[in-house]
Amino acid sequence: MPRDATLTTSFYADGASLFAPGAPLATGKDAIQKAWAGLMATPGFALTFDPTKIEVSRDGDLAYEFGEYQLTTNDKQGKPQTVRRKYVVVRGKQPDGA
């Protein structure tokens, strides 16, 4: 994952929310960008996603992605620590069809 909070945030809808680990709920692109920037600036930051299931609604307007992510950051002693957690992403067709 590139360390570009602006690029990462560009994939979110205007009213989207992000549940970043150890942080309060971030709602809206400004808050989401700040959350990503803070997370990406953490020493040792590395993030991977492993989707396990993707479902698309019958009309194609929504898709749900379920999976696990692996986040690595350095602890207070500078040693890498990795956590695995689950995630869900909801994708929706925008009014312009995107």
The helix or strand, by DSSP H or E, that contains position 84, with its residue range, turns out to be strand 80-92
Architecture per CATH, domain 43-93, reads as Roll (3.10)
H helical segments located in the chain: 5-9, 29-40
Residues in CB range of 83: below 8 A, 6 or more apart = 21, 70, 71
Q: What digits encode the pLDDT tens for the residues 38-93?
A: 999 999 999 999 999 999 999 999 999 999 999 999 999 999 999 999 999 999 98
For CATH 3.10.450.50, the residue range(s) in the chain are 43-93
In this structure, what token pair is assigned to residue 37?
């920037």
pTM to 2 decimal places:
0.85
Residue 22: the pLDDT is: 83
pLDDT band at 97 (very low <50, low <70, confident <90, very high): confident
